[in-house]
Homo-oligomer: A and B are copies of this chain.
Amino acid sequence: MIQHFRFGSPIRTDSVVQDIPVSSDAVPFLTADADGWVYTMVPDAIVYGLGEMPRGINKRGWHYVANNTDESHHGENKVSYYGAHNFLLIDGGPGGDLFGVFVDFPGKVHYDIGYTVHDTLRFATEEPDYELYILTGADLNDIAHQFRQLIGRSYIPPKWAFGLQQSRWGYKTAEDVREVARQYKENDLPLDMICMDIDYMQDYADFTINKERFPDLAALAAELKAQGIRLVPIIDAGVRIDPEEPTCTEGLEKGYFCKKEDGTPFVAAVWPGKAYFADFLRPEVRAWFGHRYKVLTDCGIEGFWNDMNEPALFYSPDRLKAFLDSMHELRGQDNIVQEEFFARVVGGAMGLMNAPEDYASFYHEVNGQRVRHDKVHNLYGGSMTRAAGEAFADLRPGKRTLLYSRSSIIGSHRYGGIWLGDNHSSWEQLLANIQMMPNVQMCGFLYSGADLCGFANDTTPDLALRWLEFGLFTPLMRNHAAGGTRPQEYYRFADQLPAIRSMLRLRYALLPYLYSTFMQAALEGTSYFRPLGFDFPADPDAREVQDQLLLGDGVMVAPVYTQNASGRHVYLPEPMKLYRIRSVDDCDTELLPAGHHYIRCALNEVLLFIRPGHVVPVAKPASCTAQLDEADLTLWACPDENGKAGCRMYSDDGETSDYAAPEHWKVLELK
């Protein structure tokens, strides 16, 4: 059951698709005090949810702020990332409370989940106008399913989007891109996409192509597509101020950019230098900006990533001027006290970026009303995704277009996926990736994944391999790196190449299972990844597991995420069959009883556990998704007590929007 409460006069977010009457009952489970809503957690209560946030699958013991942020230093002590995913699922344990909370609000929401007092959960919106939904149901899976019905069907990408994406900030020419394709081919590594970061644009201006470095993008796209590789260019939120560029001039002429209090367009510097910001909250602006992607779809581009759309701001000219004036004052002084040095020099420079004062200095138009940006900040990135997603239905009718975004809000999961932002190359971030996946997907973002190997900092050969051994299970599988870092395309790791090749091929071989699981999750509102506690709510050991995930109906994964480990502890809530996989053709298997196990897993191995009665259909590896032969399948299986095992397998053309036909499904059974 879903109860809907309304407080004040909320701004419409379009996060939900069901029209649930507003209740006048008392809000169950929660009590209100002057600081917001309060709930007392029993000692073993678990709080799931919040999507893209730091820390464990269980969010207890920290505070969080839904406040979409361009965060360059990920870590357990951050309180905000790129998404506003205001869904909590509280599991009070056997016999205890069990309910979901969705705070439907476009501004900041503050959470204290046992951060100040260990047993006390608090949350509060920054303004008094919001919608609140309380969900109850038979069990965790049921409530999660109801929530997905409430927020609508998740975005479905083309099937080739389940292949490998290779990306790097720094492919500066068509030749750089070709070299990546060539190296993948020469090293016999499968690949489906090469992402183009901001380097392909002219002066980092959206919907432009640098003709010197990319003389014929359409030809390049066609040439690579013939090899099974799609180009996936980036689009940034900020529109370069450039009187020669139609995106700038049209937007200006039509008054489509966000405005300052005095009615002039708001300006801030991002990659293209000074830029304007389209007011994506207006339907006509979304339609206009979304159709600008035609510049690239006309070149045969079939996929995009939207970036910098929190929006990130390097600085506003006003604040930079104030900082330089402040430095000018200091220049005249003989001595600077330390407090002033840290506050004005160091703090002043660092504080130019993504400054709250800037977010409070411009306005949107919402239903004809002027609304200050910071009040609706979390809607911005998701509305950019929506702009593209809505336009693609027109630009590429009946076709699926790949789209994923950095910033998001629940609701934008209907228009695109997300990647988990600018992480860094560390074992801690590999664990963060594992722990974020079920919570992000719980909030509707099924097509998601982290930058494998890590975006910032230099990766190491063992981290690259171990991260791939988890990444090969994530729907969005992309290797992406920041400029200036050590090259990390998978062919760069000479000493680990055989193992990396085997793991990439394994991904493709597992696509029948992974794609079927994804399509089931999207079409039926079920889960792709989920915590063990969802299926085993009465098992205290299963509830506590923070580093293993259930994947669809039949599989559990338990990645190795510590350096120099050649094994790990795994908890099995039921007997399962272990596949210890070195390659599709080289596994050893073992039927393991329920309980705690220490399981060896060398650097070149990955662990896959199949649940009783289930089958994982395995294809022959392929060099790209187009080459995948799903007719010739091997069935990996864990028979149940009666010797039976099966699965439902989904297959379609992978390109059109004809998802729903029942004939896409067939049942495979162990003979």
* One of B348, B425, B565, B571 near A77 (C-beta < 8 A): B425
Which residues of chain B are near A569, meaning CB under 8 Å? 569, 596, 598
Binds B, one of A27-35, A268-276, A471-479: A268-276
* One of B115, B269, B463 near A460 (C-beta < 8 A): B115
Which residues of chain B are near A271, meaning CB under 8 Å? 338
A483 CB to closest chain B CB (Å) equals 11
Q: Does A117 contact B (CB under 8 A)?
A: yes
Contact between chains at B563 and A60 (CB < 8 Å): yes
* One of B321, B341, B350 near A346 (C-beta < 8 A): B350
| CB interface residues, A 431-488, toward B, < 8 Å | 457-458, 460-463
Q: Which residue of B lies closest to A562 (CB)?
A: B546
Q: Considering the chains assembled together, what is the distance between the CA atoms of A462 and B62 in angstroms?
A: 10
Which residues of chain B are near A172, meaning CB under 8 Å? none
Contact between chains at A571 and B544 (CB < 8 Å): no
Q: Considering the chains assembled together, what is the distance between the CA atoms of A56 and B462 in angstroms?
A: 14
Which residues of chain B are near A273, meaning CB under 8 Å? 335, 337-338
Which residues of chain B are near A114, meaning CB under 8 Å? 460-462
Which residues of chain B are near A540, meaning CB under 8 Å? 566
Q: Considering the chains assembled together, what is the distance between the CA atoms of A596 and B331 in angstroms?
A: 64
| CB interface residues, A 311-353, toward B, < 8 Å | 314-315, 320-321, 323-325, 327-328, 330-331, 335-338, 341, 345-346, 348-350, 352-353
Contact between chains at A463 and B563 (CB < 8 Å): no
Q: Considering the chains assembled together, what is the distance between the CA atoms of A317 and B588 in angstroms?
A: 65
Q: Which residue of B lies closest to A595 (CB)?
A: B598
Q: Considering the chains assembled together, what is the distance between the CA atoms of A324 and B541 in angstroms?
A: 59
* One of B77, B270, B321, B544 near A566 (C-beta < 8 A): B544
Contact between chains at A349 and B338 (CB < 8 Å): no
| CB interface residues, A 87-132, toward B, < 8 Å | 114-115, 117-119
Q: Considering the chains assembled together, what is the distance between the CA atoms of A425 and B62 in angstroms?
A: 11
Q: Does A75 contact B (CB under 8 A)?
A: yes
Which residues of chain B are near A337, meaning CB under 8 Å? 273
Q: Does A495 contact B (CB under 8 A)?
A: yes
The 10 A-B pairs at the shortest CB distance, nearest first, are namely: A349-B349, A327-B327, A569-B569, A596-B598, A324-B331, A61-B563, A58-B564, A118-B461, A76-B426, A77-B457
Enumerate 16 A-B pairs (CB-CB under 8 Å) in ascending A order.
A56-B562, A60-B564, A76-B426, A76-B427, A114-B460, A114-B461, A115-B458, A118-B462, A269-B336, A323-B345, A324-B328, A327-B327, A345-B349, A346-B353, A540-B566, A569-B598
A residues touching B (Cβ–Cβ < 8 Å)? 44, 46, 55-56, 58, 60-62, 73, 75-77, 114-115, 117-119, 269-271, 273-274, 314-315, 320-321, 323-325, 327-328, 330-331, 335-338, 341, 345-346, 348-350, 352-353, 424-428, 457-458, 460-463, 495-496, 540-541, 544, 546, 562-567, 569, 571, 596-598, 603
| Apart from A58-B563, A324-B328, 12 more pairs, CB < 8 Å | A75-B75, A75-B426, A114-B460, A118-B462, A118-B495, A269-B338, A270-B338, A320-B336, A320-B345, A321-B331, A428-B428, A546-B565
